[in-house]
Amino acid sequence: MNKSTKTAKADNSPAKGGSSKHTYNEMVVSALLTLNERGGSSRQALWKCVSAKFPEADYKQFIVRLKKLAENPASHIVRVNSATFKLAQSFKEKAKKRIANGESVKRVVN
């Protein structure tokens, strides 16, 4: 009986290693590169893009992470005003070149 309960628990747990879980930093950078708006992208537009590309994204977590990323001076995300965000110009140019060369967004962000 112990083996059957252990296997049942193992079957219900999410797969480790095989899942392609993305960080919110990667999600936001990917959305900003996709939208590519001159003056920056609104929070609503970013969420729309993130939720379409990454179904595992949670709205409340997205909002919290976006605010923390914008407040962090080491981050590449800049807050234009209270609800508009964009990438730092130097990072944006480097990221576009690296993506054009075939690198994934995950490698560009890290």
Distance (Å, whole) CA 57 – CA 24: 8
Whether the predicted pLDDT of 15 surpasses 90: no
Q: How far is CA 94 from CA 21, 40, 88, 90, 103, in A?
A: 24, 17, 10, 6, 12
pLDDT in tens, 32-74: 999 989 899 999 999 999 999 999 999 999 999 999 999 998 8
Distance (Å, whole) CA 11 – CA 32: 37
Domain ranges of the chain: 23-104
Which class would CATH give 23-104?
mainly alpha
In contact, 85 and 40? CB cutoff 8 Å:
yes
Whether the predicted pLDDT of 4 surpasses 80: no
Least confident interval from 2-6, 25-29, 57-61, 99-103: 2-6
